[in-house]
């Protein structure tokens, strides 16, 4: 047993040293290893950045202190923002809070969005979060612009406002900060250097994509399956799924990507599975006839995206995942890596 453990330690040390040599080579501009560049595209709130954050946990040992501090502030601010959205939802839907909570809610709306929640604010949030009308608004969150992960933080209010709070990896994974500009992640896996490029999905950010189109080994296009009954943040008259489909059409038909294979990541499958029980995809796709059947809806939506790719010679690989679940992402990334290596000229 001792010899096996010793052998594993030696192998791990050798692999780490090799990874460091490759990383150093890349930093110095040495091109002896072909870098595999993955361009991650998708509309805003599709889960692109969550996908990349999971890659950082898997391949880069997570987040440094500076990143954790940035997310810590965002998480605390989101507690305020999420509760304000829920309170406004109560009024939008014509619901009633209890008398004591009605007073708390009105005072809460006067708090600055930049306020760092203390114990008193945390107590107020907990009381409001327990109100049946607030819970009903969260259940109907797809009708408003309320994040699916709001409940994760609201349930953890006491832990987050503790003076010694440090965000866990999952706290960071769930935290939504819209991507502005371009972010990159470099790592080494299976003896190859990789670069994941994530660009903002909002319309105002898409003009920056063109600068990232060179030397792309594979496109990863992320689709939020659960958004078939939701509208855009930027334009509440446009369905999110339709927007994603149109954007994918423009990516797939771009001349620069004529020979670039595409990985279609259908994300948020857990939320989609819950939502499909109550909401028929016909709300988005008028020609859909499968009703509230998970497998039929999954197959139909997948087909809508794949048929956008005009030529049969173009390779499209569909994957289904839950970007907030580490094991799901781990399995997806392992398969993606194998797919890229198999279909890329090195």
On whether 148 is known to bind a ligand per the annotation, the reply is: no
State whether the Cα torsion 338-321-196-190 is positive or negative: negative
Residue 202 annotated as part of some ligand binding site: yes
- The three-state secondary structure class of 311 is coil
Q: Consult the annotation and say whether 297 binds a ligand.
A: no
Q: Is 323 annotated as a binding residue?
A: yes
Tokens representing 69 are: 């501090």
**Cβ atoms of residues 260 and 219 within 8 Å:** yes
186 is in an annotated binding site: no
- CA–CA gap between residue 329 and residue 308 (Å, rounded): 25
Residue count of the chain, please give it. Answer: 346
270 is in an annotated binding site: yes
- The reply, when asked if residue 199 is annotated as ligand binding, is yes
Q: Is 44 annotated as a binding residue?
A: no
C-alpha span between 33 and 193 (Å, rounded) = 7
132 is annotated as contributing to ligand binding:
no
**Is there a binding annotation on residue 198?**
yes
Q: Of 199, 149, 208, which is closest to residue 173 (Cα–Cα)?
A: 149
Task: Please check if 161 is assigned to a binding site.
Answer: no
Nearest-angstrom CA–CA distance, 110 and 345: 58
The pairing of beta strand 262-267 with beta strand 218-224: parallel
306 touches 249 (CB < 8 A): no
302 is in an annotated binding site: no
Residue with tokens 């194998």, as numbered in its chain: 338
Give binding residues for Mg(2+) as ranges.
49, 179
Give binding residues for GTP as ranges.
198-202, 267-270, 323
Give binding residues as ranges.
49, 179, 198-202, 267-270, 323
């Amino acid at each position: 047993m001792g010899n096996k453990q010793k052998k594993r330690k030696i192998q791990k040390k050798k692999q780490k040293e090799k990874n460091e040599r490759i990383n150093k080579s890349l930093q110095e501009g040495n091109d002896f290893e072909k870098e595999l560049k993955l361009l991650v595209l998708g509309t805003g709130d599709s889960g692109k950045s969550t996908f990349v954050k999971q890659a950082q946990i898997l391949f880069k040992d997570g987040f440094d202190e500076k990143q954790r501090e940035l997310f810590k502030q965002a998480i605390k601010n989101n507690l305020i923002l999420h509760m304000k959205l829920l309170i406004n939802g109560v009024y939008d839907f014509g619901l009633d809070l209890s008398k004591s909570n009605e007073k708390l809610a009105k005072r809460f709306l006067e708090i600055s969005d930049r306020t760092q929640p203390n114990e008193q604010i945390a107590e107020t949030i907990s009381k409001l979060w327990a109100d049946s009308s607030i819970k009903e608004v969260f259940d109907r969150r797809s009708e408003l612009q309320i994040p699916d992960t709001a409940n994760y933080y609201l349930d953890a209010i006491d832990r987050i406002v503790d003076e010694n709070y440090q965000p866990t990896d999952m706290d960071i994974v769930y935290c939504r900060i819209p991507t502005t500009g371009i972010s990159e992640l470099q790592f080494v896996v299976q003896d190859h250097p990789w670069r994941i490029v994530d660009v903002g999905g909002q319309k105002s950010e898409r003009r920056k994509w063109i600068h990232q189109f060179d030397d792309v080994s594979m496109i990863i296009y992320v689709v939020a399956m659960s958004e078939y009954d939701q509208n855009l943040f930027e334009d509440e008259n446009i369905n999110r799924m339709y927007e994603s489909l149109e954007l994918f059409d423009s990516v797939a038909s771009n001349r620069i990507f004529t020979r670039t294979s595409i990985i279609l990541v259908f994300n948020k499958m857990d939320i989609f599975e819950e939502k499909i029980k109550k909401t028929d995809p016909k709300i988005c796709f008028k020609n859909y006839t499968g009703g509230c059947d998970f497998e039929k809806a999954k197959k139909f939506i997948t087909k809508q995206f794949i048929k956008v790719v005009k030529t049969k010679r173009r390779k499209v690989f569909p994957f289904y995942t839950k970007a907030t679940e580490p094991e799901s992402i781990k399995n997806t990334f392992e398969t993606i890596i194998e797919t890229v290596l198999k279909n890329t000229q090195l």
